[in-house]
Amino acid sequence: MRTRRGLCYPRADVCVDTIVVKQRDFAGDFMACRKRQRLSPKIAGKSDLFDALPDDIVISILCKLSSTARCPSDFVNVLITCKRLNSLALHSLVLSKASPKTFAIKAKNWSESAHKFLKTCADAGNVEACYTLGMIRFYCLQNRGSGASLMAKAAISSHAPALYSLAVIQFNGSGGSKNDKDLRAGVALCARAAFLGHIDALRELGHCLQDGYGVRQNIAEGRRFLVQANARELVAVLSSAAASNISTRSWLTWSPHSIPHPNHRLPTVPGCPLLSDFGCNVPAPEAHPASKFLAEWFEARGGIPGPGLRLCSHVGCGRPETRKHEFRRCSVCGAVNYCSRACQALDWKLRHKAECAPVERWLDEDGNAEQVNEAVDGNDDVITGS
């Protein structure tokens, strides 16, 4: 294999010169001798076994690496190894196989090169790149049309998170006015994502059926979807714990308290809220890299996405409002707001249930008070406590 300077790594059948280097200790005496090899310039023009490998074999190996990458650096380290790996790693087939965690870019590290890399992966047909870049453009860069187009491209390929995000956009009329809400389209997108097993979509669809929101009310069917969401969440968390060799015996015993993280240096993990319905209390599932990026992006800007705008109060979401009063507020206290009923249900048992307190009057962003009953009766953007 060649280095970035074009030289080859040393081989056993190549003669090299040996230089003896003597080291001194703090007293100035010689401690030991170390031999350092110097490459012969004759090997600079010779090829090694790596150069003899066909491109299709190297691309196949790189596809496996990109599909199993656990962080962006796993893939970036390949790009900076040598020129040949750099060119082959940017092959469209390799980029199309990249895992979601390959695009887990920190908001503080966002740059034009990161934007270009995500765009290249999206052009190569990677649905995760399409979804992640679509969320960033729609909510962070405020490029609504391009962001929605990228999420739609991923949704066409049956990408469940993209289908659910488009459903949230339709429910809220994000990027437009209140009249742009399309509840039926939101329910249809939610149903498709729920069919693919998306847990938040199952919850949202269950609450829509229970409340008759955008679909004919069917309480029994709504409860069935909510139970299915809980069951899928339990399976997902337990399977991930088994893969990490983490003991789950304590999780199957109900506890109202937070669960200590297996690594005692890390803070305690809050219990997953809805799984307590099964008598369990397990760590909450990991948020999608796109949601983490949104949360970090707006946290760095003081948690305010714009004048008079608010973030979804569920810590694992990160979605901001695109216009004033877009998200629904808690009907009891009016202090929190959510982009969806799924986020409200999660945050209720995770945090807000212990904090929510009824008030007689709400204060809006301008400091004006309004009656709670009037707001509940005259505004459909109010969400009831669970």
What band does 42 get if pLDDT is binned at 50, 70 and 90? low
* pLDDT digit string, tens, across residues 300-343: 988 888 888 999 998 889 999 999 889 988 888 888 899 998 88
pLDDT score of 356 = 83
Give the strand pairing for 17-24 and 30-38.
antiparallel
What band does 202 get if pLDDT is binned at 50, 70 and 90? very high
Mean pLDDT, rounded, for 50-57: 84
What band does 209 get if pLDDT is binned at 50, 70 and 90? very high
pLDDT score of 287 = 84
pLDDT score of 146 = 94
What band does 9 get if pLDDT is binned at 50, 70 and 90? low
Most confident of 68-77, 244-253, 263-272: 68-77
Beta carbons within 8 Å of 267's beta carbon, 6+ residues apart: 261
pLDDT score of 37 more than 70: no
Mean pLDDT of the chain: 78
* pLDDT digit string, tens, across residues 59-71: 999 999 999 998 8
| HEC secondary structure over 293-331 | HHHHHHHCCCCCCCCCCCECCCCCCCCECCCCCCCEEEC
* pLDDT digit string, tens, across residues 347-363: 887 788 888 888 765 55
What band does 232 get if pLDDT is binned at 50, 70 and 90? confident
* pLDDT digit string, tens, across residues 173-199: 998 888 889 999 999 999 999 999 999
**What whole-number percentage of the chain has pLDDT above 90?**
40
Q: Report which of 327, 329, 322 is spatially closest to residue 306, judged by C-alpha positions.
A: 322
Beta carbons within 8 Å of 265's beta carbon, 6+ residues apart: none
- Report the predicted TM-score, pTM, of the whole model to 2 decimal places: 0.76
Mean pLDDT, rounded, for 123-128: 94
Distance CA 341, CA 244 (A): 31
pLDDT score of 148 more than 80: yes
**What whole-number percentage of the chain has pLDDT above 70?**
68
Q: Report which of 215, 160, 203 is spatially closest to residue 339, judged by C-alpha positions.
A: 203
pLDDT score of 177 = 87
pLDDT score of 96 = 93
pLDDT score of 6 = 55
pLDDT score of 304 = 86
Most confident of 76-85, 233-242, 265-274: 76-85
Distance CA 302, CA 319 (A): 14
